[in-house]
Structure 1
């Protein structure tokens, strides 16, 4: 910073810029609110059809997201400009005050060519302490100029970094002031320097690196700067070295390294969201390095030999946490899948031999996995990014290969999790914050899932690792499943805003439910989904009889009949598999049921839209709610979940015996009937319906039992069963 420039600095222009940005933020916030509360809300309630059901709705949703990012970026720019202006004004005032104080000491300060300055004594003879006084003034002035230079240069660097984060659109990075943005960039450079050589990293430095990544792993500027400074090759080599150096870690060291791997994974995921030139090159090079072998020696174990791993294995082992950029995952996945699908044989066969060699010592994951199969980490990354997951499985060949490969590998849970994200549109384990309508692509992937598992050899794809994922997928598609199972009157009773409301065949979806229910976790997910959907649908028709063009009694009986059919399929599947005799313990079963119920209630509790997105037809939500947010699809569904949690507690050996006998089927039928009746009674009371309660219970009793009876013949006609 030049002395004269700061001394006579007029920051009026910067003040004008701040005022302009302040007005910009206000206008963008207003636009964001309108886009979110008006444009997106209408788009989510609209009964789209054809191309509009996917393209238009998706475009509107992304546009609303851009408004939100624009507000974040504009706010960060405003904060940095305001903070910098205030700092420069202070530095200017400090400088002028220091020059005034120097004058009182008979010292004059003048600027010189090139931006420097000189201090000299302006009286003769010179006072005896003038030399020391001049040195003090020089040091003080230079300190002020250095601080002003830091304010100016770091602000410029932070603003440039923000602008470079996104090639198109805006960055969602948020900073309250210049210092926080500058600090993030400085720390990122320091941490990248520490990670340059894993062999030289001391325990104290590793702890510092871990703490800093944990603090800044979701900070876009920090993450992009860290990854860029470290470089793609160094990132891969660093992790290969860390894995080799700490192979066999136990106890506290193991826990620290697990934590570090999660923080590094999330940091790199955040970094990929950046479109800055450095990160664009980083992402491209990581993909190019996929087939390169990274070798690492461990000086502490010279006789063990070097550990070798391909770039794909190293990078995928760092994809377990965080949300990686969709475009990066698309490009990375294409190259990885090309390699994974290269071996000859049937779909999914021989892929394991490609990555796992006998007696291989490579262990890239601190925990139960070893990271040798790069598809595991990649599939986990897809499970955190629904957009990328849908893009990946839209390729039918990739879908078939990936799903079939779980027969021959240990990637069961990872593939099933990625498929769950692909068809539901939400990251695994994430409570949606807004409606997530199904696109034709998602519905087609779900159709392929049901069709594959419905095949004679499809049962082997449902394992203890995949059952819960398939069960959640079934819950998410309850409207479409109900339509497929019922057939007649479905268009006016079982409503959905899915771009493809009828993707399933009746036989496939029935066999799919049966196979998934063979797994206890899968059966539990289906039951919760069915109960919530049934309760919500009953409430919709009771609250607004005009939804169905016939008598409400008919709508109620159709819904109850399907509830009996689905519950019957699940119960017969459990009885055939004798699941009851294999319950680990009453506590395990009850805890699992509570976890499932709490998660379902969290979805419902987010709001009408979010609850409907997972389990309830959106068209019903839109039609029932209208202009009033009166609580449909919240309270009644929540009470249904509570009954499932509290009313179906496993209780000792007797309960387990019931699961495996005819009494178990009777108990399930009774439970399904009461659950459906109670949901209807709750809705009658809440909405002050004039439907007769006793007659309504009678209709539901008959309909559920009819559906239950039909489930047995339904399965006999479509599935070979041990009880047949």
Structure 2
């Protein structure tokens, strides 16, 4: 019977703690008995002069008795260790569950209900007179809480099953013979079971594979790395680990594989990746030998087989790439692998793809997730890995490249290029078609889509390198102050695409027949996220703000962007709906914070307040103008998106409001008069303003043809500037109504002029 939330909430773990204490006493007592048996009874027996029957029967009986006492101590200690670890973990999970159900659910206003099979559902109960309408934020919170509770229950079920299994093996079910499986910890028992299952390979049932996944999921994140290291060592080394994963991947993604099997193999890909990342971190107490990295590089260009007489064998990197897509890897392990794979691709873009079995359907390859290709081209895989590994990504893009031989050993000299950003943005760099779509070469649309997989993965890697966070990290994750290397990389990115925007241009059946689609347009969404992250730097660049200015603060080291490249960069990036939404959202949040600082902060400036407010909204409004113009171009000239797509993307980018406000939380927290939730109040207010602005920023085809692409966007910019002043005035009662209206007027006027500036800069930049 599956564990329920009620079971875990109500179980009296105090009884288990008492049992642990009793077993500890038994262990201590048996330890003394075992020592006495060994040092006294056994020792005297061994030194005695036995004769007759005693020389055989009695001596043997004493030896056997001494051993049995020792075995009893070992068995008791094993039971004690397993029970103690189980009790500790279950107590922690019970505490987490109580917090989720009794505190968080109550605060959110939802109820938690067991629905069977170890699952719960969270729901908002109907209240008489209530409309039952919920915001997207409330629905997201409810879903997150439900997922968290179900995760806690699944973890508790895994602990319960592991403890029961370990106790059974320790006891052995033989009342007349002690000395069976012994464990120094529950972790030892879990590793033993995981390896026992893994050795079955593709003979594992779906239920057994699900059990293995559960063991890996709940143990792969241990801070000391013990479970992860012992699991991979137990597989038998780098090649054996690749063989196991390859076998399971093919088993779960074949044409005859059931949906259940595919789901489990997709899960295996994730949890084995997380486990490998943990096991290869040299800073953990337990970790794999440093030799695993070089060995993986050696195997990268070697064919890996796992069946006798196997004909089609993948290269090591094709298999390893599937694992690398998940997990935050240490740079000392991942960066050399990423460099090696990239250099192999540069030398021969089809080295790996030519190994794909001809004429065979390849639904997933060694990337069961199916995201961004099959994984037959490991370049896409390793770029995606860098996207989840910020430290490794930063070193990859900002460090001096190291040359590698084909076997993965370091090569003397340089690799023939200055940086990996230079390499990937070279117009001659060739991206491959690595897709799970059928008949891809006969379908031009599928081919075009597949060619964006690599650039999208590149964008993810650049996001991680410049922000210090995995590209798909939690929306609520704290912002990390930018260091000099990250900021300099952003400057390089802006200069690269600002001076050569054709690289990321997307002309999908547009009227501009002389303009071709650029090879890297697929990474514009990521460039939009990078822009949002560095909004302070971009606003500084709009009107060439002095580097010492504190009106438009940067978050950490400044990027010192070139104003001449910024407008062209933003104009091209902003044509992507996701990028447009991220930039617009971050811009308005940042501008609101700056205006708040002007209205409510201390200043020795002798300039008028309304003039300073006008200056505060100007850079953001100029960016809004560029975005309006970019949006109109995307819709009416390049035909790459619609107003609907721009509006729908906006809802997914609300995270930038919280993140931008979080960068200046000290100021926000001091001045927003909402006890305990200053950020939430400001965030919700600004999010509503952003959504109205984005939905308002539209234009008709007739207006576009008349050169009035940004008419409605200009009005949206005015409204946004006025809203920023209103936000600031909430916490300032010293400003009288007439002055408040002057400030709104100044903000609107400045916003109108700056919005026109931005749109004009974008239009002018298209001519160059």
Q: TM-score, normalised by structure 1?
A: 0.69
The equivalent of 2:262 in structure 1 is 254
Distance (whole Å) between structure 2 residues aligned to residue 709 and residue 116 of structure 1: 101
Report if aligned partners of 1:564, 1:705 keep a CA contact under 8 Å in 2.
Answer: yes
- Please say which of residues 250-259 and 382-391 is displaced more in the overlay: 250-259
Q: Deviations over 1:668-691 (max 9, x none)?
A: 111111111111112112233527
Distance (whole Å) between structure 1 residues aligned to residue 70 and residue 495 of structure 2: 75
Q: Does 1:427 align with 2:427?
A: no
SS of 1:466's equivalent in the other structure is helix
Distance (whole Å) between structure 2 residues aligned to residue 94 and residue 570 of structure 1: 76
How far off is 1:228 after superposition?
Answer: 1.5
Q: Deviations over 1:683-713 (max 9, x none)?
A: 1122335271110111111101111222243
Q: CA, structure 1 residues 278+367, in 2 after alignment: closer, same or farther (shift >3 Å)?
A: closer
Report if aligned partners of 2:537, 2:560 keep a CA contact under 8 Å in 1.
Answer: yes
User: Which residue of the other structure, out of 198, 208, 220, is the alignment partner of 1:217?
Assistant: 220
User: Which residue of the other structure, out of 332, 339, 342, is the alignment partner of 1:334?
Assistant: 339
User: Which residue of the other structure, out of 677, 687, 693, is the alignment partner of 2:722?
Assistant: 677
Alignment of 1:134-533 (within 5 A): 141=69, 144-148=72-76, 150=78, 182-196=185-199, 198-219=201-222, 220-230=225-235, 231-246=237-252, 247-248=254-255, 249-273=257-281, 274=284, 276=286, 278-297=288-307, 306-343=311-348, 351-352=349-350, 355-357=353-355, 360=358, 363-368=365-370, 369-395=373-399, 396-404=418-426, 405=429, 409=451, 410-430=453-473, 431=475, 433-454=477-498, 455-460=500-505, 465-488=522-545, 491-492=548-549, 494-497=551-554, 500-533=557-590
Alignment of 1:561-600 (within 5 A): 561-578=618-635, 583=641, 586=644, 590-597=647-654, 599-600=655-656
SS of 2:419's equivalent in the other structure is helix
How far off is 1:471 after superposition?
Answer: 0.7
Report if aligned partners of 1:479, 1:494 keep a CA contact under 8 Å in 2.
Answer: no
The equivalent of 1:702 in structure 2 is 749
More relative contact order in 1 or in 2 (CA 8 Å, sep 6+)? 1
Report if aligned partners of 2:632, 2:699 keep a CA contact under 8 Å in 1.
Answer: no
Q: CA, structure 1 residues 432+441, in 2 after alignment: closer, same or farther (shift >3 Å)?
A: farther
The equivalent of 1:36 in structure 2 is none
Report if aligned partners of 1:545, 1:552 keep a CA contact under 8 Å in 2.
Answer: no
The equivalent of 2:170 in structure 1 is none
Distance (whole Å) between structure 2 residues aligned to residue 594 and residue 433 of structure 1: 18
Q: Deviations over 1:384-442 (max 9, x none)?
A: 22111111011452122234457555312111011011111221122465452212211
Distance (whole Å) between structure 2 residues aligned to residue 650 and residue 252 of structure 1: 45
Report if aligned partners of 2:329, 2:392 keep a CA contact under 8 Å in 1.
Answer: no
Distance (whole Å) between structure 1 residues aligned to residue 766 and residue 267 of structure 2: 47
How far off is 1:199 after superposition?
Answer: 4.8
Distance (whole Å) between structure 2 residues aligned to residue 295 and residue 109 of structure 1: 53
By percentage of residues, which structure has more helix? 1
Distance (whole Å) between structure 1 residues aligned to residue 476 and residue 391 of structure 2: 14
Report if aligned partners of 1:290, 1:312 keep a CA contact under 8 Å in 2.
Answer: yes
Distance (whole Å) between structure 1 residues aligned to residue 67 and residue 559 of structure 2: 78
Report if aligned partners of 2:622, 2:754 keep a CA contact under 8 Å in 1.
Answer: yes
Q: CA, structure 1 residues 468+401, in 2 after alignment: closer, same or farther (shift >3 Å)?
A: same
Report if aligned partners of 1:426, 1:432 keep a CA contact under 8 Å in 2.
Answer: no
How far off is 1:116 after superposition?
Answer: 11
Report if aligned partners of 1:420, 1:472 keep a CA contact under 8 Å in 2.
Answer: yes
Report if aligned partners of 2:703, 2:709 keep a CA contact under 8 Å in 1.
Answer: yes
Report if aligned partners of 1:287, 1:335 keep a CA contact under 8 Å in 2.
Answer: yes
Distance (whole Å) between structure 1 residues aligned to residue 44 and residue 316 of structure 2: 51
- Please say which of residues 628-637 and 384-393 is displaced more in the overlay: 628-637
Distance (whole Å) between structure 2 residues aligned to residue 406 and residue 658 of structure 1: 40
The equivalent of 1:60 in structure 2 is none
The equivalent of 1:28 in structure 2 is none
Distance (whole Å) between structure 2 residues aligned to residue 92 and residue 709 of structure 1: 82
How far off is 1:137 after superposition?
Answer: 8.9
Q: CA, structure 1 residues 202+353, in 2 after alignment: closer, same or farther (shift >3 Å)?
A: same
Q: CA, structure 1 residues 698+117, in 2 after alignment: closer, same or farther (shift >3 Å)?
A: farther
Q: Deviations over 1:575-616 (max 9, x none)?
A: 122269765684x6554322211x235536xxx6xx11xxx5
Q: Deviations over 1:215-274 (max 9, x none)?
A: 323232211110121121101111222233343335222222212211211121222224
Q: CA, structure 1 residues 512+571, in 2 after alignment: closer, same or farther (shift >3 Å)?
A: same
Distance (whole Å) between structure 2 residues aligned to residue 144 and residue 440 of structure 1: 61
Distance (whole Å) between structure 2 residues aligned to residue 83 and residue 497 of structure 1: 57
- Please say which of residues 362-371 and 421-430 is displaced more in the overlay: 362-371
Q: CA, structure 1 residues 243+429, in 2 after alignment: closer, same or farther (shift >3 Å)?
A: closer
How far off is 1:719 after superposition?
Answer: 2.4
Report if aligned partners of 1:432, 1:603 keep a CA contact under 8 Å in 2.
Answer: yes
User: Which residue of the other structure, out of 569, 586, 603, is the alignment partner of 2:659?
Assistant: 603
Q: Deviations over 1:522-569 (max 9, x none)?
A: 111110111111111111121114175744333321222212211111
RMSD: 4.4
Q: TM-score, normalised by structure 2?
A: 0.65
Distance (whole Å) between structure 2 residues aligned to residue 367 and residue 635 of structure 1: 38
The equivalent of 2:438 in structure 1 is none
SS of 2:561's equivalent in the other structure is coil
Distance (whole Å) between structure 2 residues aligned to residue 435 and residue 207 of structure 1: 35
Q: CA, structure 1 residues 704+630, in 2 after alignment: closer, same or farther (shift >3 Å)?
A: farther
Distance (whole Å) between structure 1 residues aligned to residue 23 and residue 703 of structure 2: 72
Distance (whole Å) between structure 1 residues aligned to residue 29 and residue 565 of structure 2: 78
Q: CA, structure 1 residues 292+552, in 2 after alignment: closer, same or farther (shift >3 Å)?
A: farther
Q: Give unpaired runs (5+ residues) of structure 1.
A: 1-81, 100-107, 119-132, 159-175, 344-350
Q: CA, structure 1 residues 648+446, in 2 after alignment: closer, same or farther (shift >3 Å)?
A: closer
Distance (whole Å) between structure 1 residues aligned to residue 603 and residue 643 of structure 2: 47
Q: CA, structure 1 residues 86+554, in 2 after alignment: closer, same or farther (shift >3 Å)?
A: farther
Report if aligned partners of 2:34, 2:73 keep a CA contact under 8 Å in 1.
Answer: no
SS of 2:314's equivalent in the other structure is strand
Q: CA, structure 1 residues 117+394, in 2 after alignment: closer, same or farther (shift >3 Å)?
A: farther
Report if aligned partners of 1:227, 1:279 keep a CA contact under 8 Å in 2.
Answer: no
Report if aligned partners of 2:610, 2:747 keep a CA contact under 8 Å in 1.
Answer: no
Distance (whole Å) between structure 1 residues aligned to residue 695 and residue 552 of structure 2: 32
Distance (whole Å) between structure 2 residues aligned to residue 590 and residue 250 of structure 1: 38
Distance (whole Å) between structure 1 residues aligned to residue 759 and residue 647 of structure 2: 28
Distance (whole Å) between structure 2 residues aligned to residue 251 and residue 577 of structure 1: 39
